[in-house]
Amino acid sequence: MARFRWPENLEEIRAMLADGRTGADIARHFGLSRDTTYNGLKRYGLIIDRAATLEAQRRGAAWTKAPHVREQRRRVQQALMADPARRERCRQAMLARMQEDPDMHRRLIGKSMTAAALAARKKGCKRRWDARLSWCPPPFRAEYDRLIRKKGLRAAEAKAALAVDIARWLGSFEGQLWRVATGQARLVGKVRIERPVTYTPSAIAGAMT
C-alpha cells in the first residue's frame, strides 16, 4: 500500500473540516486508522490533541446532560426543523453521506438493535408513558390502556370513564398513601412514609364497586 502523503491532501482535508467533517470521516475517506489521522491533523495544526479533545468532552458531558440544557436544545431543534427547507437540506446531507459510505446504513441499523439501545428505548418509552399518565393511579393504568387499545376510546373519553372510580379510590387509605408518595398531598412536616405503597386486590375491588 502506498504511503499516505499529507502535504498532497491538505487542501482537501481543510475543505472537509470546513464542511463539518470529523476526524473519523477523514479517516474513512482516506482509508487511514483513527490514530494515524488524529496524529497527522495535530502535526499540521488542524486539530488539537485527541486526548485533550476527549477530556474536554468528558468535562462538558455533565453540563450537556442537565435537564434544563436538554430541554432548551430540544426546543431549539424543534424550531429549526419546523422549516421544510432545512429538513430537506438535512435529508440531502444524510443521503450524500450514505452515498460516500455505503456501509453507513448497516452500521446505524446494527447500533440501533443492540441490547443497550433497545433497553434505552424501552426505558425512555416507560418514562414518557409514566409522565403522560401521572394523573392516573397505577391500579387503573391497565384498564385505561384497555379502553384505549381494545375499546377504541379517545384519551379524554377513557379518562372520563375512569374518573368516578379513581375519585373513590383516592378517598381510600391506599389512595391517600399514593397521593402523599407522589407529592400530590402531604401530611405534616417531618413525617415520612417508611413502607412502600402497595395496591391490594381488595382495595382495588372496593374502589371499583
Q: Specify the DSSP class assigned to residue 184.
A: S
Q: Has residue 169 been placed in a domain?
A: yes
Q: Has residue 151 been placed in a domain?
A: yes
Are 103 and 140 within one domain?
A: no
Are 161 and 193 within one domain?
A: yes
CB atoms closer than 10 angstroms to residue 22: 13
- Per residue in 123-141, pLDDT (tens digit) is 888 888 888 888 888 889 8
Are 72 and 37 within one domain?
A: no
Are 141 and 179 within one domain?
A: yes
Share of the chain above pLDDT 70, in %: 79
Q: Has residue 119 been placed in a domain?
A: no
- Per residue in 77-98, pLDDT (tens digit) is 888 888 899 899 989 988 888 8
Are 50 and 82 within one domain?
A: no
User: Measured between alpha carbons, how far is 58 from 100 in angstroms, rounded to an integer?
Assistant: 30
Which pLDDT score is estimated for 107?
Answer: 84
**Mean pLDDT throughout 192-208?**
58
Q: Has residue 122 been placed in a domain?
A: no
Name the domain boundary from 32, 47, 64. Answer: 64
Domain count, the chain: 3
Range of 182's domain?
Answer: 133-208
Q: Has residue 126 been placed in a domain?
A: no
Which pLDDT score is estimated for 6?
Answer: 86
Are 11 and 55 within one domain?
A: yes
Which pLDDT score is estimated for 160?
Answer: 92
Which pLDDT score is estimated for 40?
Answer: 86
Are 47 and 8 within one domain?
A: yes
Are 72 and 9 within one domain?
A: no
Which pLDDT score is estimated for 5?
Answer: 84
Residue-averaged pLDDT of the chain: 80
Q: How far does the chain reach from its first CA to its final CA, in angstroms?
A: 80
Q: Has residue 89 been placed in a domain?
A: yes
Q: Has residue 128 been placed in a domain?
A: no
- Per residue in 8-61, pLDDT (tens digit) is 888 888 888 877 777 888 888 888 888 888 888 888 887 755 565 666 566 666
Share of the chain above pLDDT 90, in %: 8
User: Measured between alpha carbons, how far is 134 from 38 in angstroms, rounded to an integer?
Assistant: 49
Which pLDDT score is estimated for 164?
Answer: 92
Q: Over 80: is that where the pLDDT of 106 sits?
A: yes
171-209 exposure pattern, b = at least 16 Cβ within 10 A, e = fewer:
eeebbbbbebeeeeeeeeeeeeeeeebebeeebbeebee
**Mean pLDDT throughout 102-116?**
84
User: Measured between alpha carbons, how far is 46 from 25 in angstroms, rounded to an integer?
Assistant: 14
Q: Has residue 125 been placed in a domain?
A: no
pLDDT band at 7; cut points 50, 70, 90: confident
Are 94 and 147 within one domain?
A: no
